[in-house]
Amino acid sequence: MRKLVVLIVLGTALVGCGQRSEPVPELVQAIPEPSAGALAQLATYPRFGDSDPFDWERRKPTSYPIHGIDVSRWQGDINWRQARNAGVSFAYIKATEGGDIADPKFQDYWAGSRRAGVARGAYHYFYFCRPAAQQARWFIKHVPRESDALPHVLDMEWTPHSPTCTIRPDGAHVRREAKRFLDMLEAHYGRRPVIYTTVDFYQDTGIGRLQRTEFWLRSVAGHPAQVYPRAGWSFWQYSGTGKVPGISGDVDLNLFRGSPESWLRWAGTVEQ
């Protein structure tokens, strides 16, 4: 008989280094422990290259077992099987931006990563000159509802180099719009999206105050415990200059905060 475990909301329950607020357990569901076969299929503790490596002072990214990438059309053709064999456990793929841009490589990456057995989700790049509801509908139009997909991602960061929209709304407005987007995607896909963000955006907007929200934090020159004191996080983007077999050129490198077992539960790939 499989042992049952209680899944706790990851953003507040996973243990990492550095200070953070006390976790508030939220019962989600009882699910089986990952099987030995599922764990054996994971490639853990990969050692990717980097064209501009950083000398980490605190806990290093290589000390975490589960790593992945995020990609958009700029990565060109990807050999997904080669990337998976090198240790890519997950990929977040750009699907949409604003309310009228769809990444031309999304469908190719979406299908290719699935064939190679790479867990994948999609992300939306937020545009502050369109309503969140319009952007959510645009994302839903382009990203299929599939049971094996990871929770999707809302990418929110300032856009000072945008040719059409450089406004910086106040934090209250940003949080309202983010919540609207997350609520609409959760209602459609059944799982609440993760928010990806950067240091300045996190500090300027108070986006970390959002309830029931997991965060994916960019921090390429220090551990998140240093750069985002007391912040909870589930994913860490630790490099924008990674080198991964199967991808010609630099790619963003990311890691999951938890253990291989918690990754399989979080990703929804526990064998039944």
User: How far is the C-alpha of 208 from the C-alpha of 191, rounded, in Å?
Assistant: 19
161 within a domain of the structure (yes/no): yes
One digit per residue, pLDDT tens: the chain, 272 residues? 344 343 434 444 444 444 444 444 444 445 568 889 899 999 999 999 999 999 999 899 999 999 999 999 999 999 999 999 999 999 999 999 999 999 999 999 999 999 999 999 999 999 999 999 999 999 999 999 999 999 999 999 999 999 999 999 999 999 999 999 999 999 999 999 999 999 999 999 999 999 999 999 999 999 999 999 999 999 999 999 999 999 999 999 999 999 999 999 999 975 43
Beta-carbon contacts of 223 under 8 Å, excluding residues fewer than 6 positions away, are 17, 18, 56, 57, 58, 59
200 within a domain of the structure (yes/no): yes
78 within a domain of the structure (yes/no): yes
Q: How many CB atoms lie within 10 A of CB 43?
A: 15
269 within a domain of the structure (yes/no): no
Residue closest to 146 by CA, chosen among 114, 98, 101: 114
pLDDT given at position 12 = 42
Place of tokens 């049971």: 147
Place of tokens 């963000």: 197
Residue spans of beta strands (DSSP E) within 139-244: 153-156, 194-197, 215-218, 235-243
| Domain extent for 83 | 44-259
Kindly report the CATH number assigned to the domain that includes residue 145.
Answer: 3.20.20.80
Give this prediction's pTM: 0.88
267 within a domain of the structure (yes/no): no
The amino acid at residue 270 is: V
Question: Which secondary structure element, helix H or strand E, spans residue 72, and what is its range?
Answer: none
pLDDT given at position 4 = 39
The DSSP bridge pattern shows strands 251-256 and 67-71 to be antiparallel
Residues classed as catalytic:
70, 157
pLDDT given at position 205 = 98
pLDDT given at position 27 = 40
100 within a domain of the structure (yes/no): yes
pLDDT given at position 31 = 56
Q: What is the number of structural domains in the chain?
A: 1
User: How far is the C-alpha of 71 from the C-alpha of 269, rounded, in Å?
Assistant: 22
User: In this structure, what DSSP letter does residue 7 have?
Assistant: E
Between vectors from CA 240 to CA 237 and to CA 244, what angle results, nearest 5°?
95
94 within a domain of the structure (yes/no): yes
pLDDT given at position 246 = 98
37 within a domain of the structure (yes/no): no
Radius of gyration of the chain (CA): 18
